[in-house]
Each structure stands twice: as C-alpha cells, then as structure tokens.
A = this chain, B = another copy of it.
Amino acid sequence: MNDADPRSTPSTTPASPRRAGIADVAARAGVSVGTASKALNGRGTLKEETRARVRAAAQELEFAPSTVARSLLTGRTFTVGIITSDSYGRFSIPIMRGAEDALGLGEMLAFLCDSRDDPIREQHHLRRLLERRVDGIIVAGRRTDARPPIGTNLPVPVVYALAPSADEADISVTSDEGGAARLAVEHLVRTGRRRIAHITGPHSHASARERASATVEALSGHGLELVGDPWFGGWTEAWGRFAVTQLLRAHPDVDGVFCGADVIARGATDALRESGASLPLEVGVVGVDNWGVVAEAARPPLTTVDLGLQEIGRRAGELLLAAIDGTPAPGLHVVAGHLVVRES
C-alpha cells in the first residue's frame, strides 16, 4: 500500500468545522461573553430568565459547555503538565500511567512534554505550560539523583517524580533504594545464599551508591560480609557478563549475586550459565527494575525488585492534586518497592 489516491475525497474527515464558541452563544443570546460563561457554569448572580436564554442559545448552536469556558471563571484549567527527561521511555511510561490514574480521578488531563534531558527544552516546555495556565506540573526524571528545581516562585505547584528536587522544601517522590537492596538481600539469604556479591551501575549514580551501602548493611545484619567490594560499572548486560567472569576468577565460591539492574542481572546469568554453573541451584541472582522484556527473557527468568514506578507516578499525581487544592505536602516522599520472585 502506498500514499492515498489523490482523487479520493475527504468524506469522513471534516476539515476542521468551526464549532460554536461561547462568543457565538453570547451573541445569539444577546449577552456578554462573561454573562454567557456565568449562565452556563451556574455561577454568579443572574436572572433566571437570562440563564435560560443563554442555555437555549447554547442548545441551538450545539455548544457543549467546555472546560475552556469553565476555566475562565474558576481560574483553573483542570490540566497539568508532565515534563519527562526520559526519551527512552523505560521510566517515564509507568510514572505517567500512575500519574494519569491519580489525575483522572481529579478530572485532570495531562499535557506531556519530553525535555530529552536538555535544560533548554525543559525551560521551553515550562514556559509553554505556564502560558497554558496549567494548574500544576509533574517533573519526572530517570535517575534518583537530586536535580535543581525547575524554577523559583512558580505560579503553580510542582511535584518531582523519581528525581527529587535538590530543594527539600519542594514536593518530591522517589524510590526506596536502600529498601530495594534490603529486599534483595533478604531473599538471597532466605534462600540459603551466604557468599553474596554485588554488581551494579556507575558510582556516580546515587541509586548505585545507596544500594551498595544498604547491601553491606543488610548482610551485616545477618552476620554476613559482602564478597569482595561492590562492582561499580555500567547499566548494561555486557558489564554484567564481564563482572561475573572476573568475580568467578576472584571468588569461585560465590553463591549469590545482587545486581543493580535487570540488564546487569541478565548479563550475569548468561555468564554464570556459560561458566558451567547450574542456575538457580548453585548461584542465586536478583535484579532490580522488573523490566519485563529483560527479566522474563533471561535464563532463568529473573527474580527482581520492582521499584514501584507506577506507584511513584500515582503518589506524584495525588500530591499535585493536594497542592493544587491548597494542601501541599513538601519534602521527600519515598515509595517502597516489592520483590517479584521468578526462577533465578
């Protein structure tokens, strides 16, 4: 199939018909736009006769009382903006879905803007959203490192999701990185592992550092020591494979590996299997993310910590609604993750 036959006619796709606006309704009823708005929104003090005349005009013109008209008088647009920095979508999609759940209950619709990790795009989107008079903004990141506030003295509330604001007086929701490490260690220890190593992402990432120290602490709570130092590297399968190969050379008796991401865990399981280890009999592996395409396709499928990104989005939406309604809850809100047990 190729582009449409140019001879075909635009039968069912109307060429943007002019819909009756509130100005048309006002003109037909012989009142001002403001009066028409009040009549249709049931606000203000108007004679019942005027209200009825405006309603009749609206009906004749098939004018559906729109949010646009409603917002004129309430000062609210019932819209929020979501600015995401995550052009890949791995983190932003579940956060958006959770936010949509919370905002939908508040009858809010969300504008989505993708900053693509570019501060200039981010400021551009912020200005456009403020021009649109959004009632509030969610700024969703893809790392848990604190980020600079998106602006100061903004006219609407802002909630930061996943990447908290560096200003503790802002409203931020993030994941429980230490808790994730504790869930993983508990599972490994409970399933009989005693010589546990940790392979994770770059040391420059707050989440990698926090999980590593929480891992050491959780092990020590069981009278255990981490096998070797934490392996800081990258969030890739190749790093997981490489690190396991080196780990086995230094510590061939390792029987548990906590990996800071499912992609690392997948590389780790591949390298362990290819080294001849029987999984999960001889070595247990736990990842972080519960990223379906990686965790489910691994051999064996990965046991992993789900950081609750959708719940983070839902909490962000709820906190934003509360702030819009005049009850902001500033500070850092931490959402707990949960373990998803598969076969690794």
Binding site for B on A (CB under 8 A): 1-5, 8-19, 21-23, 26, 32-34, 37, 64, 66-69, 71-73, 75, 77, 79, 82, 87-90, 92-93, 96-97, 100, 109-114, 128-133, 135-136, 149, 152-158, 167-171, 174, 236-238, 263, 266-267, 292-294, 297, 323-334
Measured CA separation A29–B12 after assembly (Å): 45
Whether A66 touches B114, Cβ cut-off 8 Å, given contacts A155-B19, A323-B16, is no
Chain B residues whose CB sits within 8 angstroms of the CB of A167 once the complex forms = 12
Give min CB distance, A11 to chain B, whole Å: 4
Chain B residues whose CB sits within 8 angstroms of the CB of A10 once the complex forms = 169, 328, 330
Chain B residues whose CB sits within 8 angstroms of the CB of A114 once the complex forms = 96-97, 100
Question: In the bound complex, do residue B293 and residue A323 qualify as a contact, i.e. CB atoms below 8 Å apart?
Answer: no
Measured CA separation A156–B33 after assembly (Å): 24
Measured CA separation A152–B17 after assembly (Å): 14
Question: In the bound complex, do residue A73 and residue B21 qualify as a contact, i.e. CB atoms below 8 Å apart?
Answer: yes
Chain B residues whose CB sits within 8 angstroms of the CB of A132 once the complex forms = 66-68, 79, 109
Chain B residues whose CB sits within 8 angstroms of the CB of A3 once the complex forms = 331-334
Name A24's closest neighbour in chain B (CB-CB): B75
Whether A328 touches B13, Cβ cut-off 8 Å, given contacts A34-B26, A96-B112, is yes
A330's contact among B8, B64, B66, B152, by CB below 8 Å, is which? Answer: B8
Known: A11-B330, A110-B112; 5 extra A-B contacts, CB below 8 A, are: A4-B168, A4-B329, A15-B323, A17-B155, A64-B131
Chain B residues whose CB sits within 8 angstroms of the CB of A156 once the complex forms = 14, 16
Question: In the bound complex, do residue A169 and residue B32 qualify as a contact, i.e. CB atoms below 8 Å apart?
Answer: no
Question: In the bound complex, do residue B330 and residue A13 qualify as a contact, i.e. CB atoms below 8 Å apart?
Answer: yes
Question: In the bound complex, do residue A155 and residue B14 qualify as a contact, i.e. CB atoms below 8 Å apart?
Answer: yes
Question: In the bound complex, do residue B13 and residue A170 qualify as a contact, i.e. CB atoms below 8 Å apart?
Answer: yes
Name A172's closest neighbour in chain B (CB-CB): B4
Measured CA separation A326–B37 after assembly (Å): 28
Whether A168 touches B71, Cβ cut-off 8 Å, given contacts A89-B89, A109-B132, A110-B112, is no
Chain B residues whose CB sits within 8 angstroms of the CB of A93 once the complex forms = 87-89, 92-93
Question: In the bound complex, do residue A263 and residue B330 qualify as a contact, i.e. CB atoms below 8 Å apart?
Answer: no
Measured CA separation A330–B152 after assembly (Å): 46
Give min CB distance, A143 to chain B, whole Å: 15
Name A266's closest neighbour in chain B (CB-CB): B297
Question: In the bound complex, do residue B34 and residue A23 qualify as a contact, i.e. CB atoms below 8 Å apart?
Answer: yes
Q: What are 30 of the A-B contact pairs (CB < 8 Å)?
A: A3-B331, A3-B333, A8-B169, A10-B169, A11-B169, A11-B330, A12-B152, A13-B157, A13-B170, A13-B323, A15-B327, A16-B136, A16-B156, A16-B157, A16-B326, A23-B34, A32-B32, A32-B34, A64-B130, A67-B133, A68-B132, A87-B93, A89-B92, A89-B93, A97-B114, A100-B113, A109-B111, A110-B111, A111-B112, A237-B297
